Amino acid sequence: MSLSGKDKTVVKAFWDKVAPKAAEIGGEALGRMLTSYPQTKTYFSHWSDLSPESAQVKKHGATIMGAIGDAIGKIDDLQGALAKLSELHAFKLRVDPANFRILAHNIILVLAMYYPADFTPEVHVSVDKFLQNLALALSEKYR
């Protein structure tokens, strides 16, 4: 389900809107993922606090959203844009790629919460496709 020209336009426009709150959204999404899907906590045993209020969680959520923002800037070549991050996730972090879909769901939920009027079904489907393509690019180096 590759990204059409329309998907890219929609995603970029919506991202411009949410960019000022991107860090906050990332922190929220990660916190919710750890709360609703406790199996994801297994990747963060080196953190002392895995609650939604945790400074570590908020900081890492912001980092993730920063990377997503960068990827949007290179939306025509997601594989190239994410090559290094894919190596990191594949060989060092070894995160099961099934978890990318779980995080995507939580990002989408937080976007819906923060921007209920803007996150129309049309925006939702383009963002969902984008996050799916992002996850695919992130899984590229796994095997």
Contacts with another protein by CB under 8 A lie at 31-32, 35-36, 52, 105, 108-109, 112-114, 116, 119-122, 124-125, 128
Per the CB < 8 A criterion, the answer to whether 114 and 83 are in contact is no
Q: What are phi and psi of 105, to 5 degrees?
A: -55, -45
Q: Which two tokens stand for residue 122?
A: 């049309």
The three-point CA angle 77-81-87 to 5° equals 125
Gap between the Cα atoms of 13 and 34, Å rounded: 29
| Closest CB 14 distance from another protein, rounded Å | 14
Instruction: Please identify, using beta-carbon distances, which residue of 86 and 119 lies nearer to another protein.
Output: 119
| Closest CB 82 distance from another protein, rounded Å | 23
Q: Which two tokens stand for residue 126?
A: 């383009």
| Closest CB 38 distance from another protein, rounded Å | 9
Instruction: Please identify, using beta-carbon distances, which residue of 55 and 93 lies nearer to another protein.
Output: 55
Instruction: Please identify, using beta-carbon distances, which residue of 52 and 69 lies nearer to another protein.
Output: 52
